[in-house]
Amino acid sequence: MPRFKSAPIVLTVLAVVVSPALARIKLITLPRRERVEIQLDQPNVTLVEEERVVPLLKGVNQVDFSWANTAIDKDSIQFRPLADPEGIKVLSVSYPPNENALVWQVSAGQSGPARVRISYIIGQLNKSFEYRATAAHDERSLLLSQYVKLQNLANEDFGEAGLWAGFGDHFLRPIGINETKQILSARFADVPIQKTYTASLAEFAYLDEPQKKLRIPMHYVLKNDKEHKLGRFPLMPGKARIFQDDGKGGEAFVGEDWGKFTPMDDEMKLYLGVAKDIVVRRVIARNDHKILAGNLANQEVVIQYEIENFKDSPVTLDVIEQARAVRHETRGDTKRDVEWELGSETTFAGGLDAEKSTFDRLVFHIPLKPRAADGAAEKVVHKLHLMIKNEW
């Protein structure tokens, strides 16, 4: 087993053996740590487990555990015998006043070495996750690498420690004082991706408000399931650096984004920037307030989109509207949920995306042809006819 060094944490054993003739106290020097495991599966705390072989004497032993300048949560410290849990028992624990220390009273049925596990929660052992995503030249798949970044500011040398992020493989790495380690925890090759272009005023605002031109962000979308060669575990939040194969044997840096926490079967979106070659002009073509009875009325809204694709390849544009945001835009917000239905003037082929739309979020998809050989783009016009019902 590897040797471990630990300056600030000290563990000693006092054995008290009582006989009719006399009582004697013997101080036993604690052996080295045999094993250390650091668990990184919780977002706000880090669990450390260490194993030592302690020479206990028959009778009652005092096991003193002390630490200096180390952010250990004293209420989390546990002592567990591994070899003989029936013969070795913790009788009590006491805390010396004004000290970073505690004393366990441990009884042993017989003298001899005992393997014990001491676990505790420690602070300033910081962890984060990072990703490197390299898209293929055709942007249909990517290589996703996940890294665990561990920064040890806990004033403790853990030596050769086992690391586990709560999923994936276990790793064995030396963790010294004030060291930062970046560990490759998982690689996913040939992950299918979808490159999206999204028109959503409520989410992304205008690119040019006087001309009513929308900002059109681009994303790579990864689905965390086995069908898309992921789905082994939830993806932790973390910074993602994004690259693309340049088709010449190299890679081009695309940008950085923050990958959100992505449960199984959910999607992670990586932001790529704003599309300059897809132009969307959005205007309110009609906004009618129709009285039903008394103060009760319907708000009838027609939103018109003029769309041009200057890319030399076909794309699909996602058009998203928030019903409550449309009501706020056309008549003010009443703070209530919106009751709505689509009107007959809606022109989106295929209708609503039933999977991604909600009671308030309307999602449509528009296929766009590439620009012509002379660089001209076809102007496509679509309308959303929205009936906002039973307003007052």
Range list of H helices, 167-247: 201-204
Mean pLDDT value across residues 318-347: 94
Please report the pLDDT score of residue 361 as a whole number.
Answer: 97
Alpha helices in 145-248 (DSSP H): 201-204
| Mean pLDDT rounded to a whole number for the chain | 90
Kindly tell me if the per-residue pLDDT of 157 is higher than 50.
yes
pLDDT given at position 391: 87
The pTM assigned to this predicted structure is 0.81
- Asked if the model's pLDDT at residue 29 lies above 60, the reply is no
Q: pLDDT band for 14, please (50, 70, 90 cuts).
A: low
Which pair of structure tokens corresponds to residue 339?
Answer: 């009751």
Per-residue pLDDT, averaged over 144-163, amounts to 93
* Lowest pLDDT segment from 11-15, 194-198, 241-245, 372-376: 11-15
What does the domain layout of the chain look like in residue ranges? 9-122, 125-191, 278-391
User: Closest by alpha carbon to 325, among 380, 282, 368?
Assistant: 282
Give pLDDT, residue 18: 43
Q: Which of 162-176, 202-216, 314-328 has the lowest mean pLDDT?
A: 162-176
Task: Give every CB contact of residue 377 below 8 A, 6+ residues apart in sequence.
Answer: 279, 308, 309, 310, 371
- pLDDT classification of 7: cutoffs 50, 70, 90: very low
Secondary-structure class of domain 278-391 per CATH? mainly beta
Give CA–CA dist 364/384, Å, rounded: 10
Closest CA to 158 of 80, 78, 49: 49
> 150 pLDDT band (50/70/90 cuts)?
very high
The predicted-structure confidence for 199-209, as pLDDT tens digits, reads as follows 999 999 999 99
Residue bearing the bigger pLDDT, 121 or 28: 121
